[in-house]
Structure 1
Amino acid sequence: MANGAQTVHEVLSRQTEDEDEEEDEEDDEGKVTEDEEPRACGVCGDLAKGYHFNALTCEGCKGFFRRAIQRSTQLRCPFLNKCIITKNNRRSCQACRFHKCQAIGMRKEMVMSEKEVLERRIRIKRKRMLDAPVELLSQQKETIEELLCGHRSTFDAAFSRFSGFRPMDRVVVSVSEYNQSGREPFHPLTNCPTNSCTTNKSATDPGTSPCACSLLSSCSSSSPFSSLYGFFEKQDTQHVNDVGKNSVFTALPHLMDLTTYMIQDIISFSKSLRDFRSLTMEDQISLLKGATFEIMQIRFNMVFNINTGIWECGHITYCIDDAVRAGFQQLLLEPLLKFHHTLRKLDLQEEEYVLIQAMSLFSPDRPGVQQHSVIDELQESLALTLKTWIDCKRTDPDKHLLFPRLIACLTEMRTMTEEYSKQILQIQDIQPDDVSPLIIEVISKCPSNK
């Protein structure tokens, strides 16, 4: 049996060597130009393509010598070690062919080791991959189409489905109450950063564009926020409770209605995705709790006007002071405004927006997640799809920087998510009736038992 196995091994080896030799010959076929004189291989007399391992040989004998050096068994001639090697019979006697190679000066120390050959092949493969045009796989195209379909059915940039909300009230407290706090006289319109809030229509009229005030650039040396902060930062709890009966945060009811509307659409978007539906209900809830604020901001970024600092939500527009009037504070709003400017400057396409939404959703490190490996694979696949999309579709010279910049934006939102949850709970303590149970459920850290 041992002899039989050895024979089978030799036959297979011989077949492999013959195939490799044919490949060597085919790869270099026709490389001799008209200006070059035909030269004969010193081993078999075939057309030589150049010097290999210190001797003038054809590609076939070059490959043969390399394999003969690397083989572990010794070659033996079945005749008298005097075989004449020609192009036609060079495969008949490997021993005599090898001796002929050595006789014409081929040197075994010039043959690369298997490790060196492997490294060289890897380098060649990498170069070919870099040179080859990048293409989206069919599965990646399907993923993008599914995300686009889910996004378009659950996000209306004109906010035409946003109705039945409580009206926006941009007056924080009365002017006299603010002035009683010992500060400079303040008026919520004249103290707006650009003095451009609408004054010709009622601020509580949902049919108007309630606020057109923009903020100073986030790069400005001065604070981008109006003096509204002065009122919230220094007032004590007793004073808040006294005024709370008349709603301290007058913009809160409207913004909570807007937030609830956005959350419902984000839930619908998530449920439209096949991979999301395949997860356990517990993991679906955990992912939504972790990602809702981030996806909401990504969607708001699509309607953010970087020149004015205004979120143009159809017939209603919002500025950062509206969030101040709803009780949110500088620790959240300054990095949030900077985030919107940073992301908007990247000039993302719709496909890129939906992919980063999905990457945020499928984050395996959210509290309460059980199927870590499954979700990690989903996120990795989405990241690869995003990178491939950028490589395929982007033509700008610094496109290689876009992917890491997007990852940095997603990472930055993690800190803001924690601060957002904290501030929502603080606002609820002051004005509990205006924060919906759905919002409280989303920001809750405790895993759901449903």
Structure 2
Amino acid sequence: MAPSLGATIHGGTVPFGPILWCHPPLMALSLSPAMSLSSSSDLDSPREQRCPNVTDVPEDLEEPKVCAVCGDRATGYHFHVMSCEGCKGFFRRSILKAVHYTCPFSQSCPITKAKRRQCQACRLQKCLDVGMRKDMIMSEEAVGRRRALRLQRRLAKAQPGGLTEEQQELISILIAAHKRTFDSSFSQFQHYQPAVRLCIPDLCSQSPPRSGVPSASPAPQLNCLDEDVLPDVFSALPLFADISTFMIQQIIKFAKEIPVFRGLPIEDQISLLKGAALGISEIQFNMVFNEETNAWECGQHSFTIEDGVLVGFQQIYLEPALKFHINLKKLRLHEAEYVLLLAMLLFSPDHASVTQRDFIDQLQEKVALTLKSYIDHQHPMPEGRFLYAKLLLLLTELQTLKMENTRQILHIQDLSSMTPLLSEIIS
């Protein structure tokens, strides 16, 4: 049976959808440069963070900021309109994906905080009516370039030095989480769906025509391959769905091993995982990529881009994906650098519906500074020259690949073969 949308936590399966996960109490966290992802003393909870540039004003004198679309608490001007994070993300996704919504009623549904999810068509129209501008939406590539440039400016201001104790502890936490959850041999992989054996025309089993009877061209009979002959021949799409589900399950377990992730609000945990799972799986697949054969070696199964064609992917995705994995493998990254990349993807404040955006942004910056420091001290010149810059460029490429990957999965016809967990991630 295909797994449900969930991760195994505290010995039980917890839904990965609208039902809340069980998780430990929020951990206290620090936002200082010396912040540790596992420390909890003298620190502020992400729920208790204060904006550093806002003057304290008594609550009864503060001017309320209300979303012009749904009436929820607004976080600022987005696309020319005062709006909340939810409506900001909804408008951006709707325009970038060019989604066509249809109202099942009279095209005049009330859009409030409680009812904004009930009719996407009327919500999008409300966004346009209050003045949200399509021309102000940046593409994923532009957002990635802007973030990379901003991060480079911050790094340029940082003083050179060795790895701090907090940075060393961060690397230790991530490596330990990776080792406990990533099965590079795929020994724990199992098929969630029944294997579908391939069939071939059996032309030898046709009876010879009897004498005097006009011979006709008999239609070849389709016989399933003998299990003793080819025991591991499966149709490509269910196998792809199963391995992708297996990888996503490992990613969920990896995230739950990181204390600071467990300390985030549950809605942010779900949003970060949904936004990062496909990108993280690409980095993990690179760990099993064989650059001599251009194949991904997943235990007993080995895949090439030709197998991707059988699944239904197009060359517009497969060729850039192969180039990405070749270029990343050429960098000869250490295990520490791989896991820091995973953490940078996981703690991305650009994911939809994130509530603790500033806090997560600073977490990602801390991980990025640790990666830069590690490269500076573990890769001597000329090997380490521009290595960090190359990684940032590859991460920008990865965002484009992830979008194209999602688009193509959604357009593969046989969606019935998708497991619930994979369907939730790409929805």
Query: Is the Cα–Cα contact under 8 Å of residues 301 and 340 in structure 1 kept in the other structure?
Result: yes
Identify unmatched segments of 5+ residues in structure 2: 1-155, 204-224
Report the aligned-residue RMSD: 2.7
CA distance in structure 1 between the partners assigned to 2:321 and 2:199 by the alignment? 21
Instruction: Show the counterpart of 1:425.
Output: 410
Task: Determine whether 1:283 maps to 2:309.
Answer: no
Percent of counterpart pairs with the same letter? Answer: 46
Query: Is the Cα–Cα contact under 8 Å of residues 171 and 325 in structure 1 kept in the other structure?
Result: no
CA distance in structure 1 between the partners assigned to 2:202 and 2:383 by the alignment? 51
Counterpart residue type for residue 268 of structure 1: K
Deviation >2 Å, runs of 4+: 163-176, 199-206
CA spacing shift, 1:434–1:261, aligned 2, 3 Å:
same
CA radius of gyration, larger in:
1
Match of 1:401 among 382, 386, 392: 386
CA distance in structure 1 between the partners assigned to 2:396 and 2:259 by the alignment? 25
Match of 2:350 among 357, 361, 365: 365
Q: Deviations over 1:163-207 (max 9, x none)?
A: 24558779699799xxxxxxxxxxxxxxxxxxxxxx99978534x
Match of 1:411 among 389, 396, 403: 396
Higher RCO (CA < 8 A, seq sep 6+) = 2
Instruction: Show the counterpart of 2:288.
Output: 303
| TM-score normalised by length of structure 2 | 0.54
Counterpart residue type for residue 385 of structure 1: T
Q: Deviations over 1:70-104 (max 9, x none)?
A: xxxxxxxxxxxxxxxxxxxxxxxxxxxxxxxxxxx
Instruction: Show the counterpart of 1:324.
Output: 309
Partner of 2:296, secondary structure, is strand
Instruction: Show the counterpart of 2:418.
Output: 435
Measure how far apart 1:414 and its partner are.
Answer: 0.8
Task: Determine whether 1:378 maps to 2:363.
Answer: yes
Match of 2:231 among 205, 213, 216: 205
Counterpart residue type for residue 143 of structure 1: L
Instruction: Show the counterpart of 1:151.
Output: 178
CA distance in structure 2 between the partners assigned to 1:378 and 1:135 by the alignment? 19
CA spacing shift, 1:422–1:173, aligned 2, 3 Å:
farther
CA spacing shift, 1:251–1:388, aligned 2, 3 Å:
same
CA spacing shift, 1:174–1:350, aligned 2, 3 Å:
farther
Match of 1:334 among 310, 313, 319: 319
Task: Determine whether 1:162 maps to 2:189.
Answer: yes
Measure how far apart 1:400 and its partner are.
Answer: 3.0
Counterpart residue type for residue 423 of structure 2: I
CA spacing shift, 1:158–1:408, aligned 2, 3 Å:
same
Query: Is the Cα–Cα contact under 8 Å of residues 162 and 373 in structure 2 kept in the other structure?
Result: yes
Instruction: Show the counterpart of 1:234.
Output: none
CA distance in structure 2 between the partners assigned to 1:333 and 1:431 by the alignment? 19
More helix by share: 1
CA spacing shift, 1:349–1:203, aligned 2, 3 Å:
farther
CA distance in structure 2 between the partners assigned to 1:365 and 1:269 by the alignment? 20
Instruction: Show the counterpart of 1:237.
Output: none
State the aligned residue count: 249
Instruction: Show the counterpart of 1:21.
Output: none
Measure how far apart 1:332 and its partner are.
Answer: 1.3
